[in-house]
Amino acid sequence: MTLLVFIVSLLGAMAVGVPVAFALMFCGVVLMWSMGMFNTQIIAQNMIAGADTFTLLAIPFFILAGELMNAGGLSRRIIDFAIACVGHIRGGLGIVAIMAAVIMASISGSAAADTAALAAILIPMMAKAGYNVPRSAGLIAAGGVIAPVIPPSMAFIVFGVSANVSITQLFMAGIVPGLLMGIALVVTWLLVVRKDKIEALPRAPMKERVRATGRALWALGMPVIILGGIKAGIVTPTEAAVVAAAYALFVGMFIYRELPPRELPHVILQAAKTTAVIMFLVCAALVSAWLITAANIPAEITGYIEPLIDRPTLLMIVIMLVVLVVGTALDLTPTILILTPVLMPIIKQAGIDPVYFGVLFIMNTCIGLLTPPVGVVLNVVSGVGRVPLGKVTVGVAPFLLAQVIVLFTLVMFPDLVIAPARWLH
Amino acid sequence: MQKIIDTFYRVLEVLLIFFLSAMAVMVFVNVVMRYGFNSGLNVSDELSRYFFVWLTFVGAVVAFREHAHLGVETLVVLFGRKGRIICMILSNIIIIAVSAIFFWGTWKQAPINASMTSPVTKLPMIWVYGIGFFTGAGVVLIALERLFRLLTGRVTEEEISAFVGEDMSLEHLSERA
Amino acid sequence: EYNDRNIRVSNGINADHPVGNGIEAMQKCLDEKSGGKLKLTAFWGGALGGDLQATQALRSGVQEAVVTSSSPLVGIVPALGVFDLPFLFASNEEADAVMDGEFGDLLNQKLEAAGLVNLAYWENGFRNLSNSKKPVAKWEDLEGMKVRVMQNDIFLDTFQNFGANATPMAFGEVFSALETKAIDAQENPYVTIDTSKFYEVQNYVSETKHAYTPFLFLFSKAIFDTYTPDEQSALRECAVVGRDVERKVIRELNEKSLEKIKAAGVEVNTLSPEEYARMLEKSQVVYEKHKETIGAEVVDRVQNILADMRKK
Ligand code: NA
Ligand code: NA
């Protein structure tokens, strides 16, 4: 019964266009009213306590690092480097896109920002070289959503904080699945373009390749600092985030000199606004999460799916299908925030490794960024690359399929995630 | 009047820039001090968290003014102009209700937050938790003004298209993923 | 006279902690007294928010109960800072006598003034030090050691006063920080050193007993006052039943954890009475510095009680 109140009030408010954060607050109000414990202080206290968490500080710092990476010319150097490496292969620009996407993913945690940078540079080049434009746009969108799976990742931080799972462990566990997504995209790309009439870029002379690599070295140093620092235990994820931002600022300002000091306030303001939007949502979700817990809703759901508790693989398949459906209509952060408090108690009861579940859950919500009707990354590619949304949606189909296959492969073979995670941690 | 309001939001934006920069500097200095000088600032963990709270809740009002909070527009986009306006009215009423509850709860909780101090800086916690007054009131005022214009037929076409998520800027898109 | 009551008890720790045994015993006692009408629903691992947040929820009458250690609450009741003072109690017997006696009542009054009814003092226990450098047998051994402490003024001052580099750090990051030698040492009860596997990445454990932390079984005064006298006394009496079970289990578990730590090849040492006295002596500046904040009458009172006990 309480479950029904939760679902109806939340979906009802969102359906009439209430922003998700306010809809979550509304859902909280309705829940406590229906439980006979209406008290305005529940809203006030949980809202603010939600933001008063040191770990979450990683979010603004990684957002800032990502903004500085784009504004400071680091993204451009990474793409040039990928072109120098594999641009001359047949279908090479597609491989360039994925290679650059993976490198950028290991610096930034934002799918939209990465995708925008890739689309702005690569779609015109791919069009000129005779590639099918919607398909190229689809590939870039699919590459962009690797960002939250490979660390650093805002999605992992939000999940880790609301599920009480180690963010360091989530980061380490995301690396291999993220790379698998990249490999799957490259393979799919080579399959779909094998009959196309396309020209490869001329092979760059050795001197030029060395130069592009040299220029990109500063940018390539960033993942080493972030992952190396966390892996070696020198810094916590929060501290790694601030070091990454400082590094991107330094490289953008003094090495690449593409970031004039007068533009800095604008970059910081944009990062601050993005932070506020995400964090306000996190806070509102903690209100409804508190009430979901107090109302024992997970126990209610466990009652319905009792038979699945003893069959973890089947349970995972069911949950992944549900998340795929939810992901068609809901953005990444709200999906994580709404489903985590409901699912985590069930996952624990079924004895599924929370880190493993976290990686698959995040991967699934990232795939949701590519599914209509609400697929933010599709909108980004369509806007930046000037390709109609409908065509991008068709173009992304084979790559979307590839990522779903990767997802379910990992559902069937959990060791593909767990073994490398253990080795890396 | 409009000029005063614009100036007010300029001030808020400067505050946001200050909060984020100060947080970053405090945490960064602490990392450097821990490794470089084997020491640290005890206040920086605490103060950076409080800046974070203020950043979030001041920014939430600015974002609300700019229609930047994430919504699901799947259904409302299907409606005609009249249907959209009805949804906007309903939506603003819900937003006003929950924000007023947020304000009210902050009010009722004020005594217990005023009588608690933070562990390191000894700041009375009402300075942190009291931000609910600003955010609750700010959102209620903005939404009331919108509701008034919706009911008196003075809503602009830009607002309607912002409501159904048309022509979103790249900045707004990047807040969503 | 008993009504149906669902009492939500928030816990920052996990269900396998001895507090779980205490709550089980308390529930059994409540069932007998109330005929099953008073029900405790425990939430573990901070599912209803951190200890401080839950305590604030009690004060505002939003939630019924919380089991929390004293340290997070010093911002609300400064007198509780007395338990952060180094080397206050020397043994379990001293701690029990002081907590369950007039001094415990004194603090209960202060808690009540803040809107909190303390049903009984349970136990988190004595904190000890583990490190990767050398056995700590005297305060000088701590010089230059990087020690993780809780984010708490008195703890920071205590270790800085011994010349250590005291660093506050989130609990979740401690294991990997010890493993990678980013920090040398940490301090916690034996049970925590065991369950968090710190002993796997540390070479030495020293029984410093530098602080004793009680757990408080707090009830919202706003809600408690609406209960019938029968319900109130049942809760108080059964909280004491739970307390006795919890203390017994946690002390047994401490012994078991210590055995496990030893069996893992970690070198364990205790302080000689002389060195213990020197550490206490050295720490007097910390007492002086924080006496004002905690309340001079509170510090004097507990020290007088302890002095009397030690004379006998
Ligand atoms: Na990333
Ligand atoms: Na979608």
The answer to whether residues B55 and B124 belong to one domain is no
Q: Per-residue confidence at B167, pLDDT binned at 50, 70, 90?
A: low
**Mean pLDDT of chain A, nearest integer:** 89
Name, of A15-19, A46-50, C169-173, the range with top average pLDDT: A15-19
**Mean pLDDT of chain C, nearest integer:** 92
Give the distance from residue B95's alpha carbon to the nearest chain C alpha carbon, in angstroms: 23
Is B63 in contact with A280 (Cβ distance < 8 A)? yes
Which whole-number Å values give the CA distances from A392 to A29, A117, A379, C8, in the listed order? 40, 17, 9, 51
Mean predicted confidence (pLDDT) in B25-42: 80
pLDDT tops 80 at residue B54: yes
Enumerate the β-bridge partners of residue A407: none
Question: What does pTM read for this prediction?
Answer: 0.87
Interface test with C, best of B33, B42, B47, B128 (most C CBs within 10 A): B42
The answer to whether residues B84 and B171 belong to one domain is yes
Is C153 in contact with B119 (Cβ distance < 8 A)? yes
The answer to whether residues B80 and B162 belong to one domain is yes
**Chain position carrying tokens 């109806």:** A8
Q: Lowest-pLDDT range, A50-59, B34-43, B47-56, B106-115?
A: B34-43
**pLDDT value of residue A47:** 92
The rounded Å distance from CA B100 to ligand 2 centre is 32
For residue range C189-223, list pLDDT tens digits in order: 998 898 888 998 999 999 999 999 999 999 999 99
Dihedrals phi, psi of B176, to nearest 5 degrees: -95, -10
Domain total of chain B = 2
Is B176 in contact with A41 (Cβ distance < 8 A)? no
Mean predicted confidence (pLDDT) in C164-170: 82
Counting ligands in written order, the one closest to the CA of A323 is: 2
Q: How far apart are the first and last CA of chain B?
A: 36
**pLDDT value of residue B38:** 64
Give the distance from residue B155's alpha carbon to the nearest chain A alpha carbon, in angstroms: 16
pLDDT tops 70 at residue A101: yes
Q: Per-residue confidence at B6, pLDDT binned at 50, 70, 90?
A: very high
Among chain A residues, the shortest Cα distance to C46 is held by A164
A409 part of contact set with chain C, CB < 8 Å: no
What is the three-state SS of chain C? CCCCEEEEEEECCCCCCHHHHHHHHHHHHHHHHHCCCEEEEEECCCCCCCHHHHHHHHHCCCCCEEEEECHHHHHCCHHHHHHHCCCCCCCHHHHHHHHCCHHHHHHHHHHHHCCEEEEEEEEEEEEEEEECCCCCCCHHHHCCCEEEECCCHHHHHHHHHCCCEEEECCHHHHHHHHHCCCCCEEEECHHHHHHCCHHHHCCEEEEEEEEEEEEEEEEEHHHHCCCCHHHHHHHHHHHHHHHHHHHHHHHHHHHHHHHHHHHCCCEEEECCHHHHHHHHHHCHHHHHHHHHHHCHHHHHHHHHHHHHHHHC
Mean predicted confidence (pLDDT) in A71-79: 89
Which domain-ending residue is among B36, B66, B96?
B66
The answer to whether residues B33 and B113 belong to one domain is no
CA angle C52, C56, C62 (to 5 degrees): 130
Mean predicted confidence (pLDDT) in A23-34: 93
Interface chains of chain C (3 or more CB pairs under 8 Å): A, B
The rounded Å distance from CA A92 to ligand 1 centre is 23
**pLDDT value of residue B96:** 98
Interface test with A, best of B25, B27, B35, B88 (most A CBs within 10 A): B27
**pLDDT value of residue A285:** 86
Q: Per-residue confidence at A425, pLDDT binned at 50, 70, 90?
A: low
Show the domain range for B92. 71-177
Chain A residues with CB inside 8 Å of B66's CB? 273
Is A331 in contact with B68 (Cβ distance < 8 A)? no
The answer to whether residues B49 and B110 belong to one domain is no
**Percent over 70 (pLDDT), chain C:** 100
Give the distance from residue C228's alpha carbon to the nearest chain B alpha carbon, in angstroms: 26
Give the distance from residue A168's alpha carbon to the nearest chain C alpha carbon, in angstroms: 9
The rounded Å distance from CA A120 to ligand 1 centre is 19
DSSP code for A343: H
Mean predicted confidence (pLDDT) in C148-174: 85
Residue among C138, C137, C135, C160 nearest C147 (CA): C160
pLDDT tops 80 at residue B171: no
Chain B residues with CB inside 8 Å of A277's CB? 59-60, 63, 68-70, 175
pLDDT tops 70 at residue C51: yes
ipTM over 0.90: no
In this structure, which long-range contacts are made by residues C142-147, counting pairs with CB atoms below 8 Å and at least 24 apart in sequence? C145/C184, C145/C185, C146/B38, C146/C182, C146/C183, C146/C184, C146/C185, C147/C183, C147/C184, C147/C185, C147/C186, C147/C187
For residue range A106-136, list pLDDT tens digits in order: 888 888 888 988 998 899 889 888 899 999 9
**Percent over 90 (pLDDT), chain A:** 46
Mean predicted confidence (pLDDT) in C23-50: 92
The answer to whether residues B165 and B78 belong to one domain is yes
The answer to whether residues B101 and B76 belong to one domain is yes
The answer to whether residues B171 and B88 belong to one domain is yes
A–B interface: beta-carbon pairs under 8 A: 235
**Percent over 90 (pLDDT), chain B:** 62
The answer to whether residues B27 and B40 belong to one domain is yes
Exposure string for A24-54, b = 16+ CB within 10 A, e = fewer: bbbbbbbbbebeeeebbbbbbbbbbbbbbbb
Q: Are β-strands C65-69 and C204-220 bridged in parallel, bridged antiparallel, or unpaired? A: antiparallel
Q: Per-residue confidence at B30, pLDDT binned at 50, 70, 90?
A: confident
Mean predicted confidence (pLDDT) in A407-423: 91
For residue range B128-150, list pLDDT tens digits in order: 999 999 999 999 999 999 999 99
pLDDT tops 90 at residue A55: no
A168 part of contact set with chain C, CB < 8 Å: yes
The answer to whether residues B75 and B127 belong to one domain is yes
The answer to whether residues B83 and B59 belong to one domain is no
Counting ligands in written order, the one closest to the CA of A396 is: 2
Q: Which of B17, B23, B131 faces A57 most closely, judged by CB atoms?
A: B23
For residue range A364-376, list pLDDT tens digits in order: 999 999 998 778 8
For residue range A187-205, list pLDDT tens digits in order: 999 999 887 777 777 787 8
Mean predicted confidence (pLDDT) in A331-351: 89
The answer to whether residues B46 and B61 belong to one domain is yes
Which domain-ending residue is among B24, B48, B66?
B66
Which domain-ending residue is among B43, B66, B89?
B66
pLDDT tops 90 at residue B76: no
Chain C residues with CB inside 8 Å of B42's CB? 153, 156, 168
